[in-house]
Structure 1
């Protein structure tokens, strides 16, 4: 099997690439620069140099793939580029197409694009959408801010009264979900979450336990970016009901089960201890 992957050097896309390569899937990775081409080649992928706006140049390459996984999003160019890129990939996708969306960003354009993706499916093309929750693990996402603040202040923080619910998934579990959907040609909407939402206060308690803090408190320390505050204040409670249909079961069934592993990952990558 071979997969055409966008975003292979990004936070989620890199994990998807690692998962696919471990399963001996050939990964053709769209990258923007020669430096990134060298990096993905060293990891065992076939680099395809180009941007999301140049996908028309790579139609034949996309059509040779068994599946297309679109995890890239160009923040600088925004929604218009994502819409055009998604449509171009859909038009060329041969058998399966998986679009990485967001459970937190429910903008009208994104909701409409999800509908386009699902509606484009037919007998010979399986199309699906993965609505990712708060992805954690490694260096990306929201969790590093929470760990950094807990380390710096000896206290784990939440926002407001801590009642807003968080729907999350470990990055490795997100990658295995994408792989399962590709392998079984899943169709429709899949919630990219572990299925066990928890309150922001409960999240702070889990982090305190992993880090060894003396307690939890409400507040926004300097380590919190605007994005982090938004995640902790937004009530997003999502259940995972369809993952089992493609044979997917998360390694970490909830954040408390995965938080210590994620903290140790963070320490290894940022602080440099094991």
Structure 2
């Protein structure tokens, strides 16, 4: 299978490309710079120079491949809603090209909260007017309704010893502030998975190619924020303390909304249908061995 991977030079996208190549598939990866293109080519992938917002380029490329893994996303949280709407346009452009072809495409989203219980794969996000990231799922559902073979992979905090999803940005704040802070009593939960396990979900989903399937790539159902903060502080050599409500926004800035995430995630169905068994280290283990923020 020849797979087009957007975000192929990013943290998770690079792992997805590597996993696909190791499984015997071929990969065309999107790259924006000569430096990143060189690194991608050295893995054995074909390189497509361009930008994820070049919708004509994306559509043309979808006509030449067998499957698509869409991971590219702009993580500038000062314009989060705009970035989510840009992603809607990207998914629409590729999805419309794939209508009627049967070629599978998986898009990336986040795991929704389900107050009082674990979130499962059949749970829906609130609309994008409430949760901007839902724009990606809305675009995927629109393409599915038009006849494209679309799937959705919902990611938790994806990590190794240098990257930790949103926690990476919290670490940057902690370095600036001189301490690791967390909102309230720190009992809110963060599902997580190692990057190698997340990458395998993308490959297995594309190989299964089930239209309309939604997968939760959560190896750990929920890690308490206080434990995440303590492990991060230990890894960075910083103090840690709770923030009261009046301090949270001043500390986290545009990340304030994310700091209060409280999600317990089930991946039971994903494990069953894909035969997915996570094997990577846990989030706290990787945080204690942190590389880039000490």
Q: Structure 2 length as normaliser, TM-score?
A: 0.72
CA shift, 1:129, in A, is 0.9
CA shift, 1:99, in A, is 0.3
**Which range moved further: 61-70 or 229-238?**
229-238
- Structure 2 unmatched runs, 5+: 113-124
Q: 1:120 to 1:144 in 2, by over 3 A?
A: closer
The answer to whether the aligner puts 1:250 opposite 2:282 as a matched pair is no
Q: How does 1:197-236 map to 2 (within 5 A)?
A: 197-204=222-229, 211=235, 217-219=241-243, 226=253, 230-236=257-263
The answer to whether the aligner puts 1:238 opposite 2:265 as a matched pair is yes
Question: Which of 214, 217, 220 in structure 2 is aligned with 1:192?
Answer: 217
- What SS does the aligned partner of 2:72 have? coil
Counterpart of 2:144?
121
| CA deviation string 1:55-79 (max 9, x = no partner) | 3235343223221011112357623
CA shift, 1:229, in A, is 5.3
Question: Which of 96, 103, 107 in structure 1 is aligned with 2:111?
Answer: 103
| CA deviation string 1:215-269 (max 9, x = no partner) | 9642489xx75466543422222222321212212224xx8x44324543x33x5
Counterpart of 1:174?
198
Counterpart of 1:31?
31
Counterpart of 1:17?
17
Q: 1:122 to 1:243 in 2, by over 3 A?
A: same
Partner Cα separation in structure 2 for residue 123 and residue 110 of structure 1: 21
Counterpart of 2:50?
50
CA shift, 1:98, in A, is 0.3
Q: 1:118 to 1:246 in 2, by over 3 A?
A: farther
Counterpart of 1:130?
153
Partner Cα separation in structure 1 for residue 222 and residue 8 of structure 2: 28
Q: 1:214 to 1:12 in 2, by over 3 A?
A: closer
Partner Cα separation in structure 2 for residue 184 and residue 177 of structure 1: 10
The answer to whether the aligner puts 1:160 opposite 2:187 as a matched pair is no
Q: How does 1:250-269 map to 2 (within 5 A)?
A: 250-252=278-280, 257-261=282-286, 263-264=288-289, 266-267=290-291
Partner Cα separation in structure 2 for residue 239 and residue 64 of structure 1: 36
Partner Cα separation in structure 1 for residue 180 and residue 136 of structure 2: 37
CA shift, 1:52, in A, is 2.4
Partner Cα separation in structure 2 for residue 9 and residue 214 of structure 1: 31
RMSD: 3.6
Q: How many residues align?
A: 261
Q: 1:212 to 1:120 in 2, by over 3 A?
A: closer
**Which range moved further: 138-147 or 61-70?**
138-147
CA shift, 1:156, in A, is 6.6
**Which range moved further: 32-41 or 162-171?**
32-41
| CA deviation string 1:140-182 (max 9, x = no partner) | 33444677859x98x8753321122212222222111111111
